[in-house]
Each structure stands twice: as structure tokens, then as C-alpha cells.
Amino acid sequence: MDKIEEMLGWKPDRETRIRILREAKESGKCIQEIIGSGTVVPIMPEMAILDENLKFNYRGQMITVQEWEKINPLGKFGHIIVIGNNKIMEKYKMSKNNGKKIDFYR
């Protein structure tokens, strides 16, 4: 698996690869930003279904959202949707804001 395939999460055909590389060259943006923007190739965000320990399964290992933010192939251009029941989401919201309650829009 090469870097572009890892960032997309699937194997792109030759034409898709060329479009991504051309856009990066013409715009001066990095490949991560091009793929993360979803403008050249639509991508799905990562789905994090949290357990009671605020971890989710990512490529066969249980990690936190904070760990994913450090290791995801798109870096700061990656997108994630966090899912959990009300109790888990309250716990997650507290952990994201150093113990202070924050509101999420529904």
C-alpha cells in the first residue's frame, strides 16, 4: 500500500492518482490537504464508535480520538465523526475540554 492509497483508504486508479498529483502541483498544496479537502476525490470521514473507555477500533487496534489525530494518514486534514451513547459522549466532551463541560450541536 502506498501513501496515496493509505490516505484514501482504497486503491485509486491511474486517472485518480494523476488528478491528485496534478492538483497538488498546480495549487502548491500538499497531497494530504488535497485528499482531505475532498474536492478532487470524495472521501468519507473516519467513524469512531466509542466504547466506555473512549476508544474505538482503528485498523484492528483500540485507540482514542486523540491518538487517531496523531497517527491518521491525512494529519491535520483528516476528518472524524465521533459516535457514542449519551453517557459516553458526556464523558468524551469533558475529556476534550480539560474537564469543563462543552456543548455539541445535534
Interval 83-102: pLDDT, tens: 999 899 888 888 775 554 44
pLDDT at 1: 74
What integer pLDDT is reported at residue 5 of this predicted model? 94
Q: Measured between alpha carbons, how far is 22 from 13 in angstroms, rounded to an integer?
A: 14
Greatest Cα-to-Cα distance within the chain, rounded to the nearest angstrom: 48
Q: Are 64 and 46 in contact (CB under 8 A)?
A: no
Instruction: Take residue 41 and report the three cell numbers written for it.
Output: 476525490
pLDDT in tens, 19-70: 999 999 999 999 999 999 999 999 889 999 999 999 999 999 999 999 999 9
Domain ranges of the chain: 1-43, 44-106
Q: What 8-state DSSP symbol labels residue 3?
A: H
pTM recorded for the entire structure: 0.76
Q: Which residue has the higher pLDDT, 106 or 36?
A: 36
